[in-house]
């Protein structure tokens, strides 16, 4: 089932492709399992500096879950809970990944697709992009673990608008509501995303990983402990920090090694 999520690598940039173009890249249950496994595998690798997530083709990011399998795999509360646990594991792996993540969004980015995009650190969309969670049409409430990344991104008012009305937003509306970092024409999207990923990959990976950890931690209400504060400054003992300072003073390009 590995063809459900394809893996492409260009240097230190890895692209995960949600691969179900005949159904606008809707995810079946097994696709969620494979996605979680692949993100976990990438998280353990030091040679990765940025993960890009996109849908196959240029018609859709992901049009949510593959509802055609619901009568067999999600027909009642017990099955829905088990299915939801697989989705939750994939979203948690993405949220907790130490590598920076960027969503490349063409077309439909709805339901589970919006959940995945919301778990990414950045979201760059083409003008064709559409966003929503029209779950009211199938009589299912939004699970807590699936709601939280969207809620953290856009807040209560927008989440309730999406869920209760079943609204579908275009790219400009999504940008206005804080879902997106930027919008570009569809024919420029791949270049824009890879340029973004390239800038991330050329940066110091230890600093990027600590930045992600610190952002998650600072968003919590409790103050940082002394140990957590020391962990932030520990990056200054790295070879990369010394290289960054050297290169800046020498007006040179730094060569970061991730140590």
pLDDT of residue 23: 93
pTM for this predicted structure: 0.93
Strands (E) across the chain are located at: 5-10, 13-18, 50-55, 60-63, 101-105, 108-110, 122-126, 130-132, 168-170, 182-184
Please report, to the nearest 10 degrees, the dihedral formed by the alpha carbons of residues 71, 74, 79, 81 taken in order.
-160
The pLDDT of residue 140 = 83
Q: What is the pLDDT of residue 1?
A: 55
Question: What is the per-residue pLDDT for 67?
Answer: 86
Q: Residue with structure tokens 């959940």?
A: 115
CA atoms lying within 13 Å on the CB side of residue 159: 17
Side by side, which strands form the sheet with 168-170? 60-63, 108-110, 130-132, 168-170
Q: Give the pLDDT confidence score for residue 2 in this predicted structure.
A: 63
Torsion sign across C-alpha atoms 180, 181, 186, 190: negative
Bridge partners, residue 169, by sequence: 131
CB 87 within 8 A of CB 39: no
DSSP output for 83-142: HHHHHHHHHHHHHH-SS-EEEEE-BEEETHHHHHHHHSSEEEEETT-EEE--GGGTT-PP
Specify whether the backbone of 221 is left (phi greater than 0), alpha (psi in -120 to 50) or beta: alpha
Tens digit of pLDDT at every position of the chain (259 positions): 569 999 999 999 999 999 999 999 999 999 999 999 999 999 999 999 999 999 999 899 999 888 888 888 888 899 889 988 999 999 999 999 999 999 999 999 999 999 999 999 999 999 999 999 988 888 888 899 999 999 999 999 999 999 999 999 999 999 999 999 999 999 999 999 999 999 999 999 999 999 999 998 898 888 999 998 998 999 999 999 998 999 999 999 999 998 9
């Amino acid at each position: 089932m590995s063809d459900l999520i394809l893996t492409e690598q260009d240097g230190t940039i890895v692209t995960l492709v949600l691969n179900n173009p005949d159904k606008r890249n809707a995810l079946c249950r097994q696709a969620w399992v494979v996605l979680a496994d692949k993100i976990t595998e990438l998280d353990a690798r030091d040679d990765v500096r940025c993960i890009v997530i996109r849908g196959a083709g240029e018609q859709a990011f992901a049009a949510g879950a593959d509802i055609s399998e619901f009568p067999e795999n999600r027909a009642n509360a017990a099955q829905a809970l088990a299915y939801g646990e697989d989705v939750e594991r994939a979203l948690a792996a993405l949220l907790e990944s130490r590598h920076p993540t960027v969503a490349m969004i063409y077309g439909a980015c709805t339901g589970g697709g919006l959940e995945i995009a919301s778990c990414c650190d950045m979201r760059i969309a083409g003008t064709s992009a559409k966003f929503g969670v029209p779950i009211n049409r199938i009589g299912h409430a939004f699970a807590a673990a699936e709601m939280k990344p969207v809620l953290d991104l856009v807040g209560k008012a927008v989440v309730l608008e999406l869920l209760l009305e079943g609204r579908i937003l275009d790219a400009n509306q999504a940008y206005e509501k804080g879902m997106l970092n930027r919008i570009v024409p569809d024919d420029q999207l791949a270049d824009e995303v890879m340029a973004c990923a390239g800038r991330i990959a050329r940066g110091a990976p230890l600093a990027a990983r600590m930045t992600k950890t610190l952002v998650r931690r600072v968003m919590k209400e409790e103050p940082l402990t002394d140990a957590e504060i020391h962990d932030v400054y520990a990056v200054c003992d790295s070879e990369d920090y010394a290289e960054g300072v050297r290169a800046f003073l020498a007006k040179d390009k730094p060569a970061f090694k991730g140590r």
